[in-house]
């Protein structure tokens, strides 16, 4: 007969045996429940670390029969832009991976041009008992108020796409908005001369979306520091109808000799459509996001650069951060900046969002 090895079955029973305590006591420590003295807890924790014990999360979740419910609150896809399709795809990917562990995700959508729709969605969420929330905090004041209520209720919140640095959250997953704007300015410097005029275009019905403003700040301050001879002009277009956009752009180009237009969000294709319609060839164009319409104009050479920030990955990592925290009790790092990718006519075919 072969001699049995010295390997021991590492599990709750073995931990209890070594600590000379009941299995229920080990279970309390593993689940961070009350009823165990600090001395006993320390002893059990030391044995867990010594044995490098990893509990069977799936078995534990199935045994508990507890459903963990997360809420996702992001903008809906609109006629103006389908950008939010990408984060939603990442959210669904994560959802399919963690559903086995008894986790359900409810999705709430709001109109990014309508504060009242954000407030309505946030009120609905607060009426229910969620274990975690993934949020795109597009309306700063309303988001801060919402997160304060979540904090009072002990609900962790993860931000994607845009951060609120002075607001309590589990973490932020998304671009460094300021540096994204500064990088855009650096790229624009390769396209224009020292005395060229640059037009920043903000196409949005709302005037205080923080992610626009931080990008614009980074863009402007880069020019102020490194390209002082360039004149930077700002144009806010509040009416997002095609005719209104064309009217405002036409007026801006007639009033100033514009050499380059920078659009601080995914709606750069609106400007590209205007260029195509009026056969404008001598103005450079830079904007954000790997959308079908944007890529089509990039391929044609109407858009010179697109800057992308992995929106699918943002949605995926946002859900997984809640999962790691709520299921594994792992605290993710406070800020996870996404890479800033530069897409051109020459490399777009090899890019994955």
On whether both 142 and 201 belong to a single domain, the answer is: no
Q: What is the DSSP letter of 318?
A: H
| Residue 346 belongs to some domain of the structure | no
Cα–Cα dist 16/344, whole Å: 60
| Residue 5 belongs to some domain of the structure | no
| Residue 240 belongs to some domain of the structure | yes
Domain count, the chain: 3
Question: 308-321 burial by CB neighbour count: b if 16+ within 10 A, else e?
Answer: bbbbbbbbbbbbbb
Q: What CATH number should be reported for the domain holding residue 24?
A: 1.10.260.40
On whether both 143 and 204 belong to a single domain, the answer is: no
On whether both 235 and 254 belong to a single domain, the answer is: yes
On whether both 208 and 303 belong to a single domain, the answer is: yes
On whether both 332 and 220 belong to a single domain, the answer is: no
Q: Residue 143 burial by CB count (10 A; 0-12/13-18/19+): exposed, middle or buried? A: buried
Quote the domain boundaries for residue 217.
177-308
On whether both 229 and 287 belong to a single domain, the answer is: yes
With H, G, I as helix, E, B as strand and everything else as coil, classify residue 305.
strand
- Give the H/E segment covering residue 34: none
| Residue 246 belongs to some domain of the structure | yes
47: Cβ–Cβ under 8 A, 6 or more apart, which residues? Answer: 15, 18, 19, 53
Q: What is the pLDDT of residue 284?
A: 98
On whether both 248 and 332 belong to a single domain, the answer is: no
On whether both 298 and 331 belong to a single domain, the answer is: no
Count Cα neighbours of 58 within 13 Å in the Cβ-side half-sphere. 4
Q: What is the pLDDT of residue 1?
A: 39
On whether both 224 and 273 belong to a single domain, the answer is: yes
For the question of whether the overall pTM of this predicted structure is more than 0.75, the answer is yes
On whether both 295 and 320 belong to a single domain, the answer is: no
Rounded mean pLDDT for each run of 10 residues along the chain, 353 residues in total: 42 86 84 85 88 68 73 88 92 93 93 93 94 94 95 95 90 95 96 94 77 90 94 92 93 94 94 96 95 96 96 96 87 90 95 86
Q: What CATH number should be reported for the domain holding residue 117?
A: 3.40.50.2300
On whether both 78 and 168 belong to a single domain, the answer is: yes
| Residue 24 belongs to some domain of the structure | yes
On whether both 168 and 252 belong to a single domain, the answer is: no
């Amino acid at each position: 007969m072969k001699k049995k090895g010295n390997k021991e079955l590492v599990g709750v029973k073995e931990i209890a045996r070594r600590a000379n305590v009941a299995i229920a006591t080990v279970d309390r420590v593993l689940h961070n429940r009350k009823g165990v003295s600090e001395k006993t807890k320390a002893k059990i924790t030391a044995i867990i670390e010594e044995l490098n014990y990893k509990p069977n999360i799936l078995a534990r979740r199935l045994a508990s029969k507890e459903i963990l419910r997360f809420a996702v609150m992001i903008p809906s896809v609109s006629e103006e832009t389908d950008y939010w399709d990408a984060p939603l795809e990442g959210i669904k990917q994560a959802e399919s991976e963690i559903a086995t562990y008894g986790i359900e995700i409810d999705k709430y959508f709001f109109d990014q041009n309508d504060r009242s729709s954000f407030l309505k969605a946030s009120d609905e969420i607060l009426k229910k008992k969620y274990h975690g929330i993934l949020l795109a905090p597009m309306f700063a004041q309303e988001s801060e108020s919402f997160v304060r209520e979540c904090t009072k209720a002990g609900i962790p919140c993860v931000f994607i796409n845009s951060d609120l640095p002075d607001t309590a959250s589990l973490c932020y997953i998304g671009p460094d908005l300021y540096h994204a704007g500064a990088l855009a300015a650096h790229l624009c410097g390769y396209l224009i001369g020292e005395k060229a005029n640059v037009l920043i275009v903000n196409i949005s019905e709302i005037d205080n979306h923080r992610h626009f403003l931080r990008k614009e700040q980074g863009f402007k301050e880069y020019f102020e520091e490194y390209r002082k001879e360039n004149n930077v002009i700002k144009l806010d277009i509040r009416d997002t109808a095609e005719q209104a956009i064309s009217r405002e752009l036409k007026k801006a180009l007639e009033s100033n000799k514009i050499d380059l237009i920078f659009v601080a969000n995914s709606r750069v294709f609106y400007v590209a459509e205007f260029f195509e319609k009026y056969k404008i060839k001598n103005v450079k164009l830079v904007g954000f996001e790997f959308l079908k319409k944007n890529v089509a104009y990039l391929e044609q050479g109407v858009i010179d650069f697109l800057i992308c920030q992995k929106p699918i990955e943002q949605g995926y990592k946002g859900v997984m951060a809640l999962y790691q925290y709520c299921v594994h009790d792992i605290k993710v790092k406070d800020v996870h900046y996404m890479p800033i990718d530069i897409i051109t006519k020459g490399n777009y075919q090899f890019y994955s969002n």
